[in-house]
Structure formats: structure tokens, C-alpha cells
Amino acid sequence: SIVFLNGSYMPMDEAKISPMDRGFLFGDGIYEVIPSYDGKLVGFAPHIERMDQGMDLIGIKFGYSQDEWRAVCENLIEKNGGGNLGIYLHVSRGTDSKRFHAYPEDVEATVFAFVFEIPAAPVADKAVAKAYKVSSTEDLRWKRCNIKSTALLGNVMHFQQGYESGNNEIILYNADGEMTEGSACNAYIVKDGVVITPPLDHQILPGITRLMLLDILAKDGSIKVEERIVTMDEVRNADEIWLTSSSKEIAPVVELDGQPVGDGQIGATWEKAQALYSAGKYNY
């Protein structure tokens, strides 16, 4: 495939960075994944805004405008033949001459982007949707999960726990037994027709799918949404559980720790919400 590195396009196997890059040594960087279906980007502006906020939070001074990022995305889509693609954007603090924790002063950020194939967007139909199975465990990541950092070891280890137990994802909860999110997605329950998801704070990533879904549901008005603490007792007694991410959109969960969620079938509220999301997702 053709990738973008520090201003140039090149075949993947020609893209080289220094082993002294702080992204490599420290996981010192910020990233994004933006889905694109037949050349149409989903949530481009909010994805770039989150990336800018992440770089501000960790003091990386790098300023591509939205137009510059859009050109990178569009060029990569075109050079790689289009279709259904995830576009990965990555800015690390850059390559230093020494391994020293403090932020170096006059180092240029490393910018890297590549695309990978993703499945067709999910269809809002219970009969054909992929049903997810998840396990759960205490969230052992750090206290800055709002930063979309490339240092993903905590997430990787949690995902692996779910994967090794034969599940598609893992739902995390804090020391007080409150649901935070999944290892690579946001989490929701549905109870008596109301969608409930934890509020944005340092314990979760402010997902762009979450942002768009809550906005779409608010504008539609037919499904009530609450942003509040969700205990694991509530999760275990939920009618439906959903996970959201850019690549999954809204994923219905039918099994939690080997027990059926609700009646063990994909729920009616999921179908309605996914239909609304599918109809509205290109408006952001």
C-alpha cells in the first residue's frame, strides 16, 4: 500500500523512521482512525479536532490544518484504490538524539498515515448483524484515558484478556464497580428503552462515534439517552448492551461473561439506533 510519512507518499516498505523516535521509545504520540466508505469520510472534522486536543494535552506542537489533513486522507484513498478503508493518522513527538524523558525543545514531530481495509458498514438488521460476546474485568489502565495516546499497552493487554477467553471485546469497570468502556470502544446499556452511557471524564476516550450517536439520537428524539454512572449490576441486568467505535459503529452485545444479555438476542433499540446512525453519519 501507499503511505504518508513526513510530507511524502511512498510504498509502505520504503517508509522508515528512526529507532530514536519517541513514538517508538515511549509511545509518545497521538493517533486517530477515520473510516471511509467509497471515498466518503465519517466524522472527519470531529476526529481532527480530537487529535488537535490530544496534541495540546501532551504538548506536541504540530499544526496541520483540517484542509491539510483532508488532503492526506483523500490522497491516500485515491492512491490505494478506494473502497472501505480505515485511515490511520499518527503524530509522534519526533526523533531525539538521546533517550531523555523531558519533552525535547527543537525536535520536529513525525507524521505518519496509512490505510487499511475495513468491512462494509453494519446494516441495521437484527437478522444479519454481528452479535458480540464480551467478558468483563477491572480497568487497570491509567487515569488519562481521555487522551488518544499511541501508548496502548493497557488497552492491548485488556483486549487480549477478552480475546483469549473467546470473546470479541472486554468491558472494563473501575474500582467502584462502575463501567468505564471497552478496550477499544465506548460502552452503553439499554434499560426499559432508555440508552445509558457513562459521562465523559478521564476514565474514557471521548469517542467520535459516541459523539455522533448521542447527537443523532438527541435530534431524532424518539430514544431517550442518559449520560451517567452505570454500575456493573446495571450492566448485568440490562436489556441490551452496545459498544461503539469508528470501525464497529454500534455493536450489539448478546453475551456478557457467558450469560445472555436480556433475552440473548440483538435488541430492537439497537436496530433503531443503528438505522438512525447509518442515515446520519455522513453529516459530521
Which span sits near ligand PMP by CB under 6 A: 67-75, 120-128, 189-197, 207-215? 207-215
261 binds ligand PMP per the rule CB under 6 A:
no
Secondary structure (3-state) at 172: strand
Secondary structure (3-state) at 21: strand
- Catalytic site residue 148? yes
Number of residues that bind ligand PMP (CB under 6 A): 13
Minimum CB separation from ligand PMP for residue 99, in Å?
27
203 binds ligand PMP per the rule CB under 6 A:
no
Beta bridge partners of 10: 3
Query: Pick from 95, 155, 269, 274: which binds ligand PMP (CB under 6 A)?
Result: 155
Q: What is d(CA 206, CA 178) in angstroms, rounded to the nearest whole number?
A: 17
Query: Pick from 136, 203, 244, 269: which binds ligand PMP (CB under 6 A)?
Result: 244
169 binds ligand PMP per the rule CB under 6 A:
no
* Contact (Cβ atoms closer than 8 angstroms) between residue 226 and residue 206: no
269 binds ligand PMP per the rule CB under 6 A:
no
Q: What is d(CA 217, CA 269) in angstroms, rounded to the nearest whole number?
A: 11
Query: Pick from 186, 197, 269, 274: which binds ligand PMP (CB under 6 A)?
Result: 186
168 binds ligand PMP per the rule CB under 6 A:
no
Containing 58, the helix (H) or strand (E) segment is helix 44-58
52 binds ligand PMP per the rule CB under 6 A:
no
217 binds ligand PMP per the rule CB under 6 A:
no
Query: Given the DSSP bridges, would you call strands 186-191 and 132-138 parallel, antiparallel or unpaired?
Result: unpaired
139 binds ligand PMP per the rule CB under 6 A:
no
Residue closer to ligand PMP, measured from CB, 60 or 251: 251
C-alpha cell of residue 160: 487480549
Per the document, the length of the chain is: 284
* Contact (Cβ atoms closer than 8 angstroms) between residue 32 and residue 72: no
What's the sign of the alpha-carbon dihedral 177, 180, 186, 190? positive
Q: What is d(CA 187, CA 80) in angstroms, rounded to the nearest whole number?
A: 33
Minimum CB separation from ligand PMP for residue 244, in Å?
6
Residue closer to ligand PMP, measured from CB, 95 or 203: 203
Query: Pick from 110, 167, 203, 209: which binds ligand PMP (CB under 6 A)?
Result: 209
Query: Pick from 111, 113, 208, 238: which binds ligand PMP (CB under 6 A)?
Result: 208
Q: What is d(CA 214, CA 212) in angstroms, rounded to the nearest whole number?
A: 6
Query: Pick from 136, 246, 269, 274: which binds ligand PMP (CB under 6 A)?
Result: 246
Catalytically annotated residue among 79, 133, 148, 224: 148
Minimum CB separation from ligand PMP for residue 184, in Å?
4
198 binds ligand PMP per the rule CB under 6 A:
no
122 binds ligand PMP per the rule CB under 6 A:
no
Q: What is d(CA 146, CA 199) in angstroms, rounded to the nearest whole number?
A: 11
What would the 3-class secondary structure string for 250-284 be?
EEEEEEECCEECCCCCCCHHHHHHHHHHHHHHHHC
What's the sign of the alpha-carbon dihedral 24, 26, 29, 30? positive
The residue ranges that bind ligand PMP (CB under 6 A) are: 155, 181, 184-186, 205, 207-210, 244-246
* Residues annotated catalytic, as ranges: 148
